[in-house]
A and B are shown apart, each in its own frame.
Chain A
């Protein structure tokens, strides 16, 4: 018997249509259903493109009036005065940046520590449950984090953490003034808790693809475990870790509900982290449905457009960095 010839995938369809001509099969019609199916799937794919196009179109179109009224000064203005129709977005940009960077400051060392522990130090029996639990927390809705922050985190901050910080670090000016709990500090902490699962799970993924022989080489040269991790693992994975951090930043910038519930929603620029602030996302959440005048509404939509553009740039950068490390590996980075 002759061995069957290997068939290249590209030729399959030719062979199939050739077979059709000689012996038509009954199992599903001719070529037309195939074309219809492909066209339907193409439409679904194009719907994804259309959705993004529609988002950009709506945001640009509807932010027009505010753009014409204020121009670039919009993002430099400090006044947010709906009654006199004066709109400047600086306090919101400031609040978004400060709360997100505060969150990164807290979350990054902790997440990297957790990722290093789970990949390099953890007993295998503990590894599964630990990462499962950390990832479970990514499934908790934002509004539930906010609820917890209002009733648990803020009392702890006002009773213990606040007085301690103003006693020890009050000289820096970052922790002065009266502290009522709702503050930039509370927003930064709750954001940190929310982005730790993301940063640590992607960092873990990046560390896992560092080649095993890097570790073995370091150990063979007499490195201790920490030296092996520092030289053999972290140094190789730093671009990917950077990507994980930026992905966390992207999430923190756009986070709305939990921040809105604890930041105090006051459009001011204050040095003290004890003072309330306002973010771009929370001003949208609070004021969009009550914005009646055209300029007011389009100013809010312009803030939304800015938020949209910033998160796209941040996410693209992060994905590129993660991709440079995990390239060639099946990526599960599904943030």
Chain B
């Protein structure tokens, strides 16, 4: 009886009642079981992705454009480049705005407006990506009259900004106040102190935030469906007969000649879009390429994050 065990505990060091001990062991077992139940599918996803990815990837996949429907072969070179172009555009738009907004909240925004901006960033962070796709469509695609890499970049930039803003703010607030005061004491103007002292000290944290945002949007498909749309061909096009030879002979003027069209205003292929299309197709070869694409996408995300973090760690000393 548990009651007697508890009463006798007053007099001697009694063993904990059997029922309570069994409950304890059972619940420990349940907790371990949940861990196993969670890790098994998660591990299965990773293992299967690596297994199928390595088995499916080949040179043609990385260097060729898609073949016509139903033909075996071809690759996703245009989608890999397209993803990089869209992500580059998103970063060009999103990183300065996000970091700037973060600086404003942390350094000037200890007031009502700062609170409103912080709250807005949090709200923006929770907006479903498909809704952001609709808005980017309404703003950019309808204005331009056609789908484009730029529209995709704008959609992804909107998704990057809140994450960057909030991490920048958090990182800047970690910088000790004494450091700012020391800078002011030396007569350094406030803008210079913010950029060269405060932001510089928080660099590695801020860049980690940027990479988090980058990794989050790199795999986004939904906002690209009706902005970048996808493309079976290169969006960067040239009417030169031998573009590589021309590049070799005129490395500078290559980028300033009228033969080359940077396709930022053209529908552009992106890896996640291509994976989506191929996964739903009825062709085995396209399924294989979808796995290879997923593998390349993961590698792209992981290496870009790792490379930047490594560079930052090498570049700054003792930063937070």
Of B62-70, B182-190, B312-320, the stretch lying at the interface with chain A is B182-190
In chain A, residues 39-97, which have Cβ atoms closer than 8 Å to a Cβ of chain B?
Answer: 40-49, 51-52, 54-55, 58-59, 62
Any chain A CB within 8 A of the CB of B116? yes
* Alpha-carbon distance A123/B235, docked complex (angstroms): 53
User: Chain A nearest CB: distance from B148 CB in Å?
Assistant: 14
Chain B residues within 8 Å of A316, by CB: 123
User: Is the pair A311, B126 in contact by a Cβ cutoff of 8 Å?
Assistant: yes
- Of chain A, the residue at the smallest CB distance from B297 is A141
Task: With A49-B117, A193-B41, A226-B24 as known contacts, state yes or no: A109 contacts B34, CB within 8 Å.
Answer: yes
* Residue of A25, A49, A62, A144 ringed by the most chain B CB atoms within 10 A: A144
User: Is the pair A311, B128 in contact by a Cβ cutoff of 8 Å?
Assistant: yes
- Chain A residue total in the interface (Cβ 8 A): 97
- Of chain B, the residue at the smallest CB distance from A45 is B104
Task: With A37-B191, A304-B130 as known contacts, state yes or no: A55 contacts B113, CB within 8 Å.
Answer: no
Chain A residues within 8 Å of B28, by CB: 121, 225-226
Of A26-34, A164-172, A206-214, the stretch lying at the interface with chain B is A26-34
Question: Of B20, B38, B107, B133, which is within 8 A of A227 by CB?
Answer: B20
Any chain A CB within 8 A of the CB of B21? yes
- Of chain B, the residue at the smallest CB distance from A318 is B126
In chain B, residues 87-111, which have Cβ atoms closer than 8 Å to a Cβ of chain A?
Answer: 96-101, 103-105, 107-109
* Alpha-carbon distance A198/B4, docked complex (angstroms): 44
User: Is the pair A12, B181 in contact by a Cβ cutoff of 8 Å?
Assistant: yes
User: Is the pair A20, B219 in contact by a Cβ cutoff of 8 Å?
Assistant: no
- B interface, over-half SS: helix
* Alpha-carbon distance A29/B163, docked complex (angstroms): 33
* Alpha-carbon distance A107/B272, docked complex (angstroms): 26
* Alpha-carbon distance A261/B281, docked complex (angstroms): 11
* Alpha-carbon distance A278/B201, docked complex (angstroms): 49
- A interface, over-half SS: helix
Any chain B CB within 8 A of the CB of A142? yes
User: Is the pair A37, B194 in contact by a Cβ cutoff of 8 Å?
Assistant: yes
Chain B residues within 8 Å of A28, by CB: 188-189, 191-192
In chain B, residues 140-162, which have Cβ atoms closer than 8 Å to a Cβ of chain A?
Answer: 158, 161-162
* Alpha-carbon distance A113/B39, docked complex (angstroms): 12
Any chain B CB within 8 A of the CB of A196? yes
User: Chain B nearest CB: distance from A55 CB in Å?
Assistant: 5
Chain A residues within 8 Å of B128, by CB: 253-256, 281, 307-308, 311
With A144-B294, A307-B130 known, 7 other A-B pairs at CB within 8 A are A34-B190, A41-B101, A140-B298, A151-B287, A224-B23, A226-B24, A308-B128
30 A-B residue contacts at CB 8 Å?
A16-B187, A27-B192, A28-B192, A42-B104, A45-B100, A45-B105, A47-B100, A48-B124, A110-B38, A113-B31, A116-B31, A117-B31, A121-B31, A139-B301, A141-B218, A143-B275, A144-B219, A144-B297, A152-B45, A226-B23, A229-B27, A256-B130, A257-B276, A261-B279, A288-B134, A289-B226, A308-B128, A312-B123, A315-B125, A315-B126
- Show the binding face of B for A, using Cβ within 8 Å: 9, 16, 20-21, 23-24, 27-28, 30-35, 37-39, 41-42, 44-46, 48-49, 96-101, 103-105, 107-109, 113-114, 116-117, 120-135, 137-139, 158, 161-163, 165-167, 170, 177, 180-181, 184-185, 187-192, 194-195, 212, 215-216, 218-222, 225-226, 229, 272, 275-276, 279-280, 287, 290-291, 294, 297-298, 301
- Show the binding face of A for B, using Cβ within 8 Å: 7, 9, 12-13, 15-16, 19-20, 25, 27-31, 33-34, 36-38, 40-49, 51-52, 54-55, 58-59, 62, 109-114, 116-117, 121, 130, 133-134, 137, 139-148, 150-152, 193, 196, 200, 222, 224-227, 229, 250, 253-257, 261, 281, 284-285, 288-289, 300-301, 304, 307-308, 311-312, 314-316, 319, 330, 334-335
